[in-house]
Structure 1
Amino acid sequence: MTVLIDPPNWPGPRDLMWSHLVSDSSLEELHEFAVRLGVSRRAFDRDHYDVPETVHARAVALGAEAVSSRELLQRLIAAGLRRRKRR
Structure 2
Amino acid sequence: MSVLIDPPNWPGPRGLLWSHLVSDTSLEELHAFAALLGVPERAFDRDHYDVPETVHQRAVALGAEPVSSRELLSRLIAAGLRRRRRREPASG
Normalising by structure 2, we get a TM-score of 0.94
Which 5+ residue runs of structure 1 have no aligned equivalent?
none
2:74 matched residue in structure 1: 74
Cα distance, 1:4 vs structure 2: 0.1
Cα drift, residue 55 of structure 1: 0.2
Query: What residue in structure 2 maps to residue 11 of structure 1?
Result: 11
Distance 1:2 1:25 in 2: 6
Q: Tell me the distance in 2 between the aligned counterparts of 1:2 and 1:84.
A: 21
Paired residues, what number?
Answer: 87
C-alpha separation between the residues in 2 aligned to 1:58 and 1:11?
Answer: 19
Residue segments in structure 2 that go unaligned for 5+ positions in a row: 88-92
Supply the distance in 1 between the matched residues of 2:38 and 2:30 (Cα, whole angstroms).
Answer: 12
TM-score (norm 1): 0.99
Residue correspondence of structure 1 range 1-87 to structure 2 within 5 A: 1-87=1-87
Tell me how large the CA RMSD over aligned residues is.
0.4
Cα deviation for residue 81 of structure 1 reads: 0.1
Rg: which structure is higher? 2
Q: Which runs of 4+ in 1 moved over 4 A?
A: none
